[in-house]
Amino acid sequence: MKILVCISHVPDTTAKINFSPDNKEFLSSGVTYILNPYDEIALSKAVDLASANNGTVTVIHVGDAGSEPTIRKALAIGANDAVRINAVPRDAQFVSKQIAAYVKQNPFDMILCGRESSDHNSSSVPVMIAERLDIPCVLFAKSLTIDNGNASIESEIQGGKEVLSVPMPFVAGASEGMAEWKIPNMRGIMSARTKPLLVVEAVDAAVHSGIHHFEKPAPRSAVKLIDPENAGTLFEVLRSEKKVI
Amino acid sequence: MSVLVYIENIEGNFRKPSFEIISFGFALAQKLNLPLVALSIGKVSDDELKLAGKYGASRVLNAGNEKLSVLSEEAYASVIAQAAKQEDAKVIIMSSSFAGKSIAPRVAVKLDASIGENVVDLPETGGSFIIRKGAFSGKAFAFVELLSDVKVLSVMPNSYKVVENPVQPELSVFEPQLRDEDFRIKVLEVKRATDKVSLPDAELVVSAGRGLKGPENWGMIEELAEVLGAATACSKPVSDSGWRPHSEHVGQTGIAISPNLYIAVGISGAIQHLAGVSNSKVIVVVNKDPEAPFFKAADYGIVGDAFEVIPKLIEAAKAFKASQN
């Protein structure tokens, strides 16, 4: 079983977010970058599935050489090898086209992604990869088991969940709870240094969108404290001051 | 040319997020001076379809083919793309619900379109087409310019108000081409809790954290939510400990919500939690620790023990509700 895991390289979840004075660019100096947390769940799941099914895990990333530490982290967690498509990721159409082009040349039984990245939060890349490869996708997968070449996937839907039978190959998006987080051990970290990391050049792809500017949310005004003895007045206050109830 | 909205139904009924989408679509269509067409997929009665007219859709396409009665994201994306071509749609809009997020990117690829996800405002359309969306897990907004001739938007639930613009809609049957390949996924089982308020599009949310000490104490949270007609949610440590299901976890790695009112009980307010809830219109924090960081991000705060405060809130909520009726 060949599993591909798509990873992105994102600011640490505790990082302070700052922009250039014209708000056109995210300022990355002083920001630690990490493996996108959802992708880490996908990778943990892939490593489990590969060890249970005699499979291999390849991670793929679209980015410049600056993201190699994140790729090495994925190798330390347990991926067998890695592919970096050497291009600045422009938008979801662009990134999905790069990954789909690679997969068309190098087929996989399963492609796992995080259900979203913690920087753009768009959730488009996994679905677009599936569309470009004309294969099924379950974006909000909660659990995934393999039986006789079919996957059984529990998927989140509005107001509940559904159980799906999905033929391979497919794309699935990982959410929390799909796998236990894996912490790389010393052996993993050592071996990650020598695992293969293939760099391939990008294919031509049109850019469909671009960041115009960023904005930080307006700060909230100072908190109004309500006396716990009269906690019950809360709803009257919410009605008269905010009209939200 | 037109603006096309895809409106989701749940078991044959449209719900508030669908009316938000039509209202959003109507306002955008007015800005662009284009007609608004609504598309429904699956089995929906004519009376229900006509509801789309109440919010401004002048035409309603009904893809009611029996094969489409169960959601297949692949087939639905194909139907939407075919409808968009037939109607020469310049903008295709849907909800950024679980289904919408799984369908919109496929439609964008099929139409070689720009995509704007999780849109929270009407786009700017003077010259450039610029959408506003959440980024960095709620810590910022990104304004994204969509460059292609055709645009696909997914709009965040609760970010656009339902506005009535009544017209008599023309209903027409839409018969798309369907491929067997688009029904590869077999739905074995659907489990829907119809008696509970769904969290992603809830207007009111009551959430609790480790301050509640254990899963056996959630009864009062559920009661408060029920009285208010709110959805329940929780913090990450709570779902990690198995006290509550992961589907209730709001925050950076859980779901991001934008309700009108978010009541957080016994949650300290770590940056990862705030990321998922900072788009709430009003935040109320109940915590016995006056130094809890969440108070800095709240509109109202009650410094007190949840076990004393919540029963008071339940009584007050009951009285409040009774006074409203």
pLDDT given at position A159: 77
Dihedral (CA of B22, B23, B29, B30) sign: positive
Residue B188 in any domain: the answer is no
Residue B148 in any domain: the answer is yes
DSSP-H helix ranges across A78-140: 92-105, 124-133
Residue A225 in any domain: the answer is no
The mean pLDDT value for B210-236 works out to 96
Chain A to chain B, count of Cβ pairs less than 8 Å apart? 272
Whether residue B317 and residue A235 make contact (CB cut-off 8 A), yes or no, is yes
pLDDT given at position B96: 94
Per-residue model confidence as pLDDT tens digits over B109-138: 999 999 999 999 999 999 999 999 999 988
Which domain CATH number covers B279?
3.40.50.1220
Residue A9 in any domain: the answer is yes
Q: Can you tell me the distance from the alpha carbon of B93 to that of B73, in angstroms, rounded to the nearest whole number?
A: 15
Q: Can you tell me the distance from the alpha carbon of B312 to that of B306, in angstroms, rounded to the nearest whole number?
A: 10
pLDDT given at position B1: 96
Residue B189 in any domain: the answer is no
Nearest-CA distance A139 → chain B (Å): 6
Counted domains in chain A: 1
Q: Can you tell me the distance from the alpha carbon of B78 to that of B209, in angstroms, rounded to the nearest whole number?
A: 42
Considering only CB atoms, B316 lies closest to which of A139, A207, A234, namely A234
Portion 258-287 of B in contact with A at CB < 8 A: 260-261, 271-272, 275, 278-279, 281-286
3-state helix, strand, coil in chain A (%, to 5): 30, 30, 40
Nearest-CA distance A245 → chain B (Å): 8
Whether residue A211 and residue B143 make contact (CB cut-off 8 A), yes or no, is yes
The mean pLDDT value for B22-31 works out to 98
Per CB-CB distance under 8 Å, the chain B contacts of A174 are none
Asked whether the predicted pLDDT for residue B149 surpasses 90, the reply is yes
Q: Around B3, how many Cα atoms within 13 Å sit in the side-chain half-sphere?
A: 23
Cβ–Cβ under 8 Å, residues A232 and B311: no
Two structure tokens written together for B199: 């969290």
Which domain CATH number covers A182?
3.40.50.620
Asked whether the predicted pLDDT for residue B203 surpasses 80, the reply is yes
pLDDT given at position B262: 98
Whether residue A140 and residue B102 make contact (CB cut-off 8 A), yes or no, is yes
Which of B150, B183, B216 lies at the terminal end of a domain, its last residue?
B183
The low-confidence residues of chain A, meaning pLDDT below 70, are: none
Whether residue B102 and residue A127 make contact (CB cut-off 8 A), yes or no, is yes
Residue B190 in any domain: the answer is no
* Cα-to-chain-centroid distance, residue B8: 11
Residues B208 and B151 in one domain: no
pLDDT given at position B59: 97
Whether residue A121 and residue B137 make contact (CB cut-off 8 A), yes or no, is yes
Per-residue model confidence as pLDDT tens digits over B8-20: 998 899 999 999 9
Whether residue B137 and residue A13 make contact (CB cut-off 8 A), yes or no, is yes
pLDDT given at position A157: 86
Cβ–Cβ under 8 Å, residues A57 and A80: yes
How many CB atoms sit inside 10 A of residue A17's CB?
16
pLDDT given at position B92: 98
What mean pLDDT value characterizes chain B? 95
Residues B264 and B145 in one domain: no
Per-residue model confidence as pLDDT tens digits over B274-300: 989 998 999 999 999 999 999 999 999
- What is the DSSP-derived secondary structure letter of residue B36? E
Asked whether the predicted pLDDT for residue B195 surpasses 80, the reply is no
Whether residue A207 and residue B141 make contact (CB cut-off 8 A), yes or no, is no
Closest CA to A89 of A119, A109, A112: A119
Residues B72 and B131 in one domain: yes
Percent of chain B topping pLDDT 90: 88
Two structure tokens written together for B68: 């489409």
Q: Can you tell me the distance from the alpha carbon of A234 to that of A165, in angstroms, rounded to the nearest whole number?
A: 48
User: Given the structure tokens 């422009």, which residue do they identify?
Assistant: A90
How many CB atoms sit inside 10 A of residue A231's CB?
20
Q: Can you tell me the distance from the alpha carbon of B120 to that of B131, in angstroms, rounded to the nearest whole number?
A: 8
Considering only CB atoms, B281 lies closest to which of A123, A213, A244, namely A244
Angle at A205 between CA A200 and CA A207, to 5 degrees: 125
C-alpha distances (whole Å) from B67 to each of A72, B14, B41, B191 are 46, 19, 10, 20
Nearest-CA distance B142 → chain A (Å): 5
Counted domains in chain B: 2
Read off φ and ψ for residue A80, nearest 5 degrees. Answer: -80, -40
Two structure tokens written together for A134: 């004309």
**A106 Cβ neighbours under 8 A, 6+ residues apart:** none
Which secondary-structure segment (H or E) carries B54? helix B46-54
Q: Can you tell me the distance from the alpha carbon of B141 to that of B133, in angstroms, rounded to the nearest whole number?
A: 6
Residue A37 in any domain: the answer is yes
Residues B11 and B144 in one domain: yes
Q: Can you tell me the distance from the alpha carbon of A112 to that of A143, in angstroms, rounded to the nearest whole number?
A: 12
Considering only CB atoms, B300 lies closest to which of A122, A164, A223, namely A223
Whether residue A232 and residue B108 make contact (CB cut-off 8 A), yes or no, is no
User: Given the structure tokens 């989408």, which residue do they identify?
Assistant: B21
Asked whether the predicted pLDDT for residue B194 surpasses 80, the reply is no
Residue B191 in any domain: the answer is no
Domain range for residue A169? 2-216
Per-residue model confidence as pLDDT tens digits over A14-53: 888 999 999 999 999 999 999 999 999 999 999 999 999 9
Which domain CATH number covers B172?
3.40.50.620
Is residue B290 reached through a cis peptide bond, with omega within 30 degrees of 0 on the bond before it? no
Greater confidence, A14 or B231? B231
Residues B24 and B166 in one domain: yes
Portion 121-160 of B in contact with A at CB < 8 A: 128, 130, 132-148
Burial label for A31, CB within 10 Å (0-12, 13-18, 19+), is middle
pLDDT given at position B198: 85
Domain range for residue B292? 204-324
Cβ–Cβ under 8 Å, residues B61 and B172: yes
According to DSSP, the residues that pair with A60 across neighbouring strands are A6, A83
User: Which of B299, B305, B308, B323 to probe by mutation at the A interface, max A CB count within 10 Å?
Assistant: B299
B313 at A interface, C-beta within 8 A: yes
pLDDT given at position B220: 97
Residue B34 in any domain: the answer is yes
3-class state of residue B161 by DSSP: coil
Residue A242 in any domain: the answer is no
User: Which of A17, A90, A115, A124 to probe by mutation at the B interface, max B CB count within 10 Å?
Assistant: A124
pLDDT given at position A149: 80
Per-residue model confidence as pLDDT tens digits over B95-110: 999 999 999 999 999 9
- In this structure, of A52-56, A133-137, B187-191, B192-196, the range with the lowest mean pLDDT score is B192-196
The mean pLDDT value for B86-91 works out to 98
Residue B199 in any domain: the answer is no
Cβ–Cβ under 8 Å, residues A57 and A3: yes
Greater confidence, A165 or B256? A165
pLDDT given at position B196: 77
Q: What is the CA radius of gyration of chain A?
A: 21
